[in-house]
Structure formats: structure tokens, C-alpha cells
Amino acid sequence: MTDLLLKNATLPDGRTGLDIAVTSGKITAIEPGIPGDAGTAIDCSGYLVSPPFIDAHFHMDATLSLGMPRMNQSGTLLEGIALWGELKPQLTVEAMVERALRYCDLAVSRGLLAIRSHVDVSDPTLRTAEAMLEVQRLVKPYIDLQLVAFPQDGYLRSPGAVDLLNRSLDMGLNIVGGIPHFERTMAEGTQSVELLCRIAADRGLPVDMHCDESDDPMSRHIETLAQQTVRFGLQGRVAGSHLTSMHSMDNYYVSKLIALMAEADIQVISNPLINITLQGRHDTYPKRRGLTRVPELMAAGLNVSFGHDCVMDPWYSMGSGDMLEVAGMGLHVAQMTSRKAIRQAFDAVTINPARALGLPDYGIAVGNPADMVLLQARNTIEALRLRPTRLAVIKAGKVIAQSAPQISTLSLNGRPDAVNSADYAPQTKNKTGKETR
Ligand code: FE2
């Protein structure tokens, strides 16, 4: 007996008119016209069924703390770090758990079912780690929450950080973080990368560092991170988050650097909402965008993901838990406007972070867990354009969030379901059959 049957779905790869059958939490068939009764049947009306969204970079311990104890006046990364430092002594495990769970409810409603969160382990109480491990346990049936041991105040710069990072890994955080551009000197930044990669190699853990989150073109810790990745045999298991200094680097140097990163199979994680608001703050005009070189990195074969980074915290007062907002900003800032590039932006919040986070059995395929999102959009490009309603969010074959479709009751064009111009099919091929922009 089929537990759940999705009728007439379109998949991100463009296949359409498909039914998806689910039994005991797994996808058992994907084909047109699957007959038979199901416990629950959903008519997808040709709309897009995507695997869940994934956020490759977030700060769950700080989320929804906006205004505590005050607002960030300058809007800079450094005032955000100082402000978070003021807030840390006031944090309680209970309040952090409560805020994080509120965020997770929002995330589920947006179809966001896997999140990698950096956890600040600079405070000797390690309350942040305790709280986030509790959140990880509580949301496990719905959200795959990965936790990075993140030395926010510097691994070598902050007294006690070496011991605290090790203790937090002993507690159960299982990804090694870092922040080399925040160490006192370039030399200490380099040293921190080496020491942290060694810990990861010794413990058999992945690495995900805040790396070169700076407009300084001489912030080149990603070079060391790539080198140490190869040295310790960590290829494919090391992520460089932000990498904003690459925006400002000399082009000739970057041409060498990207090849080094590809050799190390560095997982690139860019955070467009945060980078476009925090970077370039010391510029007058023109102001740099500050986003890392996303299209060029993708073209070189690197796996690039987009992260949300912050939602209503000391660094960012906006944010919605919607990875389509994140990808939408990414495609604008990186000028990824060709049809192919827009689809790549969708991949950067779905299949790319699944690889970066090492999520097994991800994607809509027979035998995989039935984790899916039904969107009120006809394809991935329309999803990015409209940030559409999540009509249903499905986890292990169970509908865990639902929203009513967006419709106009006026029906000015006589098509009550056409409020999102869903039937608009742009001409994407020119006379030569080549895809147009
Ligand atoms: Fe971050």
C-alpha cells in the first residue's frame, strides 16, 4: 500500500507529468500515471517538487537575538563580533534553545530541512555548545542540524580557545571551525589553519572555516587552507566559508589560487545576503560587492553552495529562513543571469550543499528518503523569480508543513491560478538553437 502519492509533479531537472509514490518513508516509484490508492494523495498540478533546501552556513546560537543588548550601529562585521561579545555573558541555554526552535519552525515552513550551524565556543561556559546539541537532538526528526566548533574570538588570539575547541568537540560538535583572518597577524592566521586541520585529521572530522571574510586582497588564508587540506589528505572534506577577499584579489593570483582550491576539492560556501551588506563598508564609491567569485569557481569545477549565515542577529537584522531569498541575492550579486546560471543558483541551495555537508541519499530518486518540497512554481527558474509558496513540505513521507496557494480572487485574466504568471514560457533558444541569455 502506498502511503503517499504525489500526482503530476515536475522535478528540478525538468522532467514533468510524473507521479511519486512513497511507502514507509521512502520513495518507491517515480513515473507517469502510477495507479492505485494511497493513504494521502496530493495533486501537484504540474508544480515543482524539489528536494529540501539546505543551508550550508548558519549561526543558530545567535539567531533571533536582534537588539540584544543593542543594535549594530555601524553595520560592520567587527561591531557585530563586539556586540555578540557583549551579549554572550547574558545568554542562557534555555533562551538559546527557545530562539533556535522558533527559527527551526520557520525553516521547516520554508522547506529548509538541513542546516550547518557554526557554534561559538569562545565562552568558557560552553553554554552555546550545550544549547545547540540540545536543539540538534530536539529537531532531529525534521532537520539535519550539523554543528561546527567555531572559535569566534580567534583560535590563537583568544585565551583558552585551544582548550575550549577541543572540549566542545569532546561534547559532540563534530566539525572543526576557524577564523584565520581574525587572528592577530597573518602568520598566526596561517598557524591556526595548520593546527585546526591537524585536529580534524587526528579526529577524523571535516573542517569548515570562516576564511578571508575581509575586503583585504592580501588575506590569503584560503591558499593555506587548500595546502593543508592536501597535506592531511582531507580533500573534499574541507569547506572555505565566505572567501570574500577573493573578490578584491589580483586576477593573476586568483588564476593560480582557484587551481589550488580545485586540487584540494575545497567546498566553497558563499553567503550573499551577509557579504553584500557587510563587505565594502570601508569603501566610498565605487563600493565593492565583496562576494567571492562564484561563477568562476563553479566553472573551475568547484562545488559552490550558498548559506544564509544570519537571521536577525548582531550582524544582520533581516532574513527569512528562505533559501530562495539567499540564492536570489547570490544570482543578482554574482550576475548569474543566464538560464544555466540561474539553475546553478538553485543547485547552490539544494544539491551542492548536500554534497558539501556529506548528506547521504539526498534527492528525489527511488530508494531515497521521501523528503520533498512542493512549490507553487513550474520550474527552478520560476522558483527563484517568485520565491513561491511552499504548498507542502514532506519529511520521510509525512507532510510537516502546508501553505495555501497564492491566488487572486479577482481573476482579471480569467485564470484564477495564474497570479504568478506560471504559464509564461520565455523564448530561451535563438534561431541557431543556442541558449540565449
Ligand atoms: Fe558565519
Taking the centre of ligand 1 as the mean of its atom positions, its distance from the CA of residue 59, in whole angstroms, is: 6
- Active site (annotated) includes residue 213: yes
State the pLDDT at residue 421: 47
State the pLDDT at residue 303: 98
Domain count for the chain, please give it.
Answer: 2
State the pLDDT at residue 437: 44
Taking the centre of ligand 1 as the mean of its atom positions, its distance from the CA of residue 118, in whole angstroms, is: 7
Of 336, 356, 376, the residue at which a domain comes to its end is 356
DSSP 61-95: TTTT-TTSS---SS--HHHHHHHHHHHGGG--HHH
Taking the centre of ligand 1 as the mean of its atom positions, its distance from the CA of residue 58, in whole angstroms, is: 6
- The average pLDDT across 133-144 equals 98
CA 266, 355, 222: angle at the middle one, nearest 5?
15
Domain range holding 323?
53-356
State the pLDDT at residue 77: 86
3-state SS of 134-197 is HHHHHHCCCCEEEEEEECCCCCCCCCCHHHHHHHHHHHCCCEECCCHHHCCCHHHHHHHHHHHH
Cα-only R_g, the chain: 22
Which DSSP helix (H) or strand (E) runs through 11?
none
Burial environment of residue 181 by CB neighbours within 10 A (0 to 12, 13 to 18, 19 or more): buried
Taking the centre of ligand 1 as the mean of its atom positions, its distance from the CA of residue 93, in whole angstroms, is: 21
Taking the centre of ligand 1 as the mean of its atom positions, its distance from the CA of residue 261, in whole angstroms, is: 20
| CB neighbours of residue 303 within 10 Å | 22
Burial 378-389 (b: 16+ CB within 10 A, else e): bbbbbbbbbbbb
Helix axes 161-171, 127-139, angle to 10 degrees: 20
Taking the centre of ligand 1 as the mean of its atom positions, its distance from the CA of residue 210, in whole angstroms, is: 6
Say whether both 272 and 314 belong to one domain. Answer: yes
State the pLDDT at residue 416: 53
Question: Is pLDDT of 423 > 60?
Answer: no
At 423 the three-state DSSP class reads coil
C-beta of residue 373 within 8 angstroms of C-beta of residue 53: yes
Say whether both 350 and 418 belong to one domain. Answer: no
Taking the centre of ligand 1 as the mean of its atom positions, its distance from the CA of residue 32, in whole angstroms, is: 43
Which CATH number fits the domain that encloses residue 195? Answer: 3.20.20.140
Mean pLDDT of the chain: 94
DSSP 302-368: --EEE--B-SSBTTBS---S-HHHHHHHHHHHTT--SHHHHHHHHHTTTHHHHHHTT-TT-SS-TTS
Taking the centre of ligand 1 as the mean of its atom positions, its distance from the CA of residue 242, in whole angstroms, is: 8
219-268 tens-digit pLDDT: 999 999 999 999 999 999 999 999 999 999 999 999 999 999 999 999 99
354-403 tens-digit pLDDT: 999 999 999 999 999 999 999 999 999 999 999 999 999 999 999 999 99
Q: State the Cα–Cα distance between residues 246 and 242, nearest whole angstrom.
A: 9
Say whether both 223 and 346 belong to one domain. Answer: yes
Taking the centre of ligand 1 as the mean of its atom positions, its distance from the CA of residue 353, in whole angstroms, is: 15
State the pLDDT at residue 428: 46
Say whether both 47 and 77 belong to one domain. Answer: no
Say whether both 380 and 345 belong to one domain. Answer: no
Question: Is pLDDT of 417 > 90?
Answer: no
pLDDT band for position 432 (50/70/90)?
A: low
Candidates 213, 223, 325, 382; catalytic one: 213
Phi, psi dihedral angles at 357 (to 5 degrees):
-90, -5
State the pLDDT at residue 430: 52
pLDDT band for position 422 (50/70/90)?
A: very low
Of 356, 381, 412, the residue at which a domain comes to its end is 356
Cα separation of the two ends of the chain: 46
* More confident: 194 or 410: 194
Query: What cell was used for 375?
Result: 512549490
Say whether both 269 and 315 belong to one domain. Answer: yes
Say whether both 314 and 258 belong to one domain. Answer: yes
Lowest-confidence region among 34-43, 306-315, 338-347: 34-43
Question: Is pLDDT of 136 > 90?
Answer: yes
Taking the centre of ligand 1 as the mean of its atom positions, its distance from the CA of residue 57, in whole angstroms, is: 6
Say whether both 111 and 149 belong to one domain. Answer: yes
Question: Is pLDDT of 57 > 70?
Answer: yes
Taking the centre of ligand 1 as the mean of its atom positions, its distance from the CA of residue 426, in whole angstroms, is: 37
Across-strand partners of 146? Answer: 116
83-133 tens-digit pLDDT: 999 999 999 999 999 999 999 999 999 999 999 999 999 999 999 999 999
- What is each CA distance from 159 to 149, 155, 165, 170, 298, in whole angstroms? 16, 8, 11, 19, 38
Q: State the Cα–Cα distance between residues 433 and 244, nearest whole angstrom.
A: 37
Which CATH number fits the domain that encloses residue 375? Answer: 2.30.40.10
State the pLDDT at residue 435: 53
Of 341, 356, 371, the residue at which a domain comes to its end is 356
Strand-pair category, 2-9 with 18-23:
antiparallel
Across-strand partners of 314? Answer: none
Burial environment of residue 332 by CB neighbours within 10 A (0 to 12, 13 to 18, 19 or more): middle
**Cell 589580483 found at:** 250
Say whether both 33 and 101 belong to one domain. Answer: no
Say whether both 414 and 329 belong to one domain. Answer: no
